[in-house]
Structure 1
Amino acid sequence: MPDSPLSDSPYEVLGVPADADAAALRIAYRRALRLTHPDTGGDPARFNAVQIAWELVGTPEARAAFDRGAGNGSTPAPTRAAWAPTPPTPRRDSRPLARSYGHPGGLSRQRYLDLVREWAGRGVTLDDPYDPALVRSAPRDIRHVLADALAEEATARSLATLGIAYTVWHDVATDAAGPGEPPKLDHIVLGPTGLFMIQSEDWGGPVGIRRGELTGEVLGGERPMRALALRAKAIGRAARVKPTALLIVVPDDHAEEPLQLGGTVRGAVVALVRRSRLASAVREGLPGSAHLGGTEVMEVRSRLQAVVRFA
């Protein structure tokens, strides 16, 4: 099962339609091996992806299991959809968590449900809108919305571990979003290491940062850091506060380095952060980013609490 709704399916990796017969699948696999083999100048990552794809759909048993939504041929089909909302799990320790407000990923999940039902068509009943086969067949823009919802939820779980010194707001409404963009800022984090405005993203491929903006073929002309800066500015103006850092968080394998700085925007340090590095980056504070004193943290929290609305 792909890790993200935007991940290529095994059929896409092999370059065949999902209904290709066994012979066509085998031919495509052998061709993909030749093209991607490192010994002939191929990309090792793509070569590995081809082998994994074959493991998932290379035998009738594995293919049937994959098409049902199972992760591989040796495991049964899951009893619940891979991307359905997961219930909270009981905590195993007593360490205090960060104070959190809002519903991370809530608006993105609702947008996904609206879009996938509209795409399926009127009068069509979707027994499970998170069914893996349905998700894989949906247009990329719909899968992207679901991928973002999952990214926001994963970021929220990471931010919760910051501890009682931090306050986190999720899905904060803002009027600064551009056409077609969700009218919200994904996360605001306040603590002694600064005021962080954060977007959680998953474009399904690698991105970098240069001169204060993200780069990468998967962006399709988007300017994510500019959009984040506009949202942060709108919220900061309303609350009369200044963010000290603007962060965009992506899956670990979509960024070359754990933390990449990109200069400053209106005095706020901008950075691209791997998801696994996020909590430590916030706890430590970004290089060049101002820390806040205890009185200042309380004042900024009060101002934000007075103006924050949830999307």
Structure 2
Amino acid sequence: MFDSPLSASAYEILGVAASVDEETLRKAYRLRLRQTHPDTGGDSALFVQVQRAWALVGEPTARAAYDRGHGFGAASAPSFAPEATDAPTWRPPRATADTRPRARSYGQPGGWRRERYLDLIREWVGRGVALDDPYDPALVRSAPHHVRRLLADALAEEATARIVADLGMGYTVWHDVSAVGRGADPNAKIDHVVLGPSGLYGILSEDFGGPVRVRRGELIGDGVTDAPIAGLVARMRVIARAAGVRFGGAIVVLPDDDVEQPIDEIGKVRGAPVAIVSRSALSTVLRRGVTGVRAVGGNEVFDVRTRLQQSVRFA
């Protein structure tokens, strides 16, 4: 919470400017508690956000640390920049002493969206204007929503990639892929395609900037546009036809604070079993599988992997 490009700051949650004094901040906190308390007709999700915001800025030392980390203070703040900006392609970070086999990984998670974000943030700032750090938190926070959304989704894809990489050598993942070949739609991209013992999955990594719920087989929420689940399933069909494979199911990965429960298997959407999963629960789901998804093993794993390698391209 509060660390997404789309998240409101702790001060915005409390309804004050970042420059207010301690007494004004305390009064705002008490007011927001009364306004959002469920017992007085308030929203329970907002009530929790208010409490978390106060935990971050209610005490002077914590507030100073928060200000530094989110661009409100004079000191430099950490940025949303990639971990290795000089690397030609993204790779999951690995500790020096960690020699465990990692999942096979192809493509660059979040790469297309980061490139698009850089184009748009420079366009928004204006031509001829020096842009020392396009990932500076203060700059990101002031950018238009559609620009911040690109960066939020890039970060979400990178977070999922790190989780999948730790599943081990029994898994293969293709990041930010679309189908190639006759009749394929180059715009039909999937954030991640994951092949493992529990099945073949299409995965959507999202960050809508706030809580989401499920209604009639689709996500709803203030930041949700279009039909994310239906779109994912449709894109899975495109790649399945091009590669001659069959997906087992679809997974939507969301920030932990944005879902009501860590794992929500909502049944089939257009014939595909679908699970809405918090980021911290993703590895559990990929290891155990989603209900109704057929496991993949033996020579079939090699066949599916070969078909996908020959039939996907990277954004």
Same fold? TM cut 0.5? yes
Q: 2:291 aligns with which of 278, 287, 291?
A: 287
Q: 1:136 aligns with which of 119, 130, 141?
A: 141
Give the whole-Å Cα distance in 1 for the aligned partners of 2:57 and 2:263.
36
Post-superposition shift, 1:229?
Answer: 1.2
Post-superposition shift, 1:11?
Answer: 3.1
Post-superposition shift, 1:112?
Answer: 1.2
One-letter code aligned to 2:192: H
One-letter code aligned to 2:303: E
Aligned pairs for 1:271-282 (under 5 A) are 271-282=275-286
One-letter code aligned to 1:33: L
Matched with 1:35 is 35
Matched with 2:49 is 49
Aligned partner of residue 197 in structure 1, secondary structure? strand
The share of aligned pairs that are identical, in percent, is: 58
One-letter code aligned to 1:262: I
Matched with 1:308 is 312
Q: Does 1:225 align with 2:200?
A: no
Q: Does 1:194 align with 2:199?
A: yes
Task: Classify 1:233/1:183 alpha carbon distance in 2 versus 1 (closer, same or farther; 3 Å).
Answer: closer
What is the RMSD of the two structures over their aligned residues, measured on CA atoms?
3.0
Q: Which moved more, 1:140-149 or 1:9-18?
A: 9-18
Task: Classify 1:133/1:304 alpha carbon distance in 2 versus 1 (closer, same or farther; 3 Å).
Answer: same
Task: Classify 1:162/1:55 alpha carbon distance in 2 versus 1 (closer, same or farther; 3 Å).
Answer: closer
Matched with 2:88 is none
Q: Does 1:6 align with 2:6?
A: yes
Partners of 1:208 and 1:272 within 8 A in 2 = no
Aligned partner of residue 282 in structure 1, secondary structure? helix
Post-superposition shift, 1:166?
Answer: 1.2
Partners of 2:218 and 2:229 within 8 A in 1 = yes
Aligned partner of residue 264 in structure 1, secondary structure? strand
Aligned partner of residue 11 in structure 1, secondary structure? helix
Post-superposition shift, 1:288?
Answer: 1.0
One-letter code aligned to 1:165: G
Task: Classify 1:48/1:286 alpha carbon distance in 2 versus 1 (closer, same or farther; 3 Å).
Answer: closer
Structure 2 unaligned residues grouped into runs of 5+: 85-92
Post-superposition shift, 1:214?
Answer: 2.0
Give the whole-Å Cα distance in 2 for the aligned partners of 1:63 and 1:121.
33
Partners of 1:209 and 1:271 within 8 A in 2 = no
Post-superposition shift, 1:80?
Answer: 3.8
One-letter code aligned to 1:282: L
Partners of 2:18 and 2:72 within 8 A in 1 = no
Task: Classify 1:7/1:36 alpha carbon distance in 2 versus 1 (closer, same or farther; 3 Å).
Answer: same
Matched with 1:270 is 274
Matched with 2:127 is 122
Task: Classify 1:208/1:52 alpha carbon distance in 2 versus 1 (closer, same or farther; 3 Å).
Answer: closer
Post-superposition shift, 1:99?
Answer: 0.6
Aligned partner of residue 217 in structure 1, secondary structure? coil
Q: 1:98 aligns with which of 96, 100, 103?
A: 103
Report the TM-score when normalising by structure 1: 0.85
Post-superposition shift, 1:231?
Answer: 1.1
Post-superposition shift, 1:77?
Answer: 3.7
Give the whole-Å Cα distance in 1 for the aligned partners of 2:77 and 2:13.
26
CA deviation profile, 1:83-108 (whole Å, cap 9, x unmatched): 11114342543221111111111111
Equivalent residue pairs, number: 303
Give the whole-Å Cα distance in 2 for the aligned partners of 1:233 and 1:190.
16
Q: Which moved more, 1:59-68 or 1:255-264?
A: 59-68
Partners of 1:194 and 1:292 within 8 A in 2 = yes
Q: 2:164 aligns with which of 141, 159, 163?
A: 159
Post-superposition shift, 1:47?
Answer: 3.8
Structure 1 unaligned residues grouped into runs of 5+: none
Q: Does 1:249 align with 2:257?
A: no
One-letter code aligned to 1:168: V
Matched with 1:85 is 82
Matched with 1:112 is 117
One-letter code aligned to 1:34: R
Aligned pairs for 1:195-210 (under 5 A) are 195-210=200-215
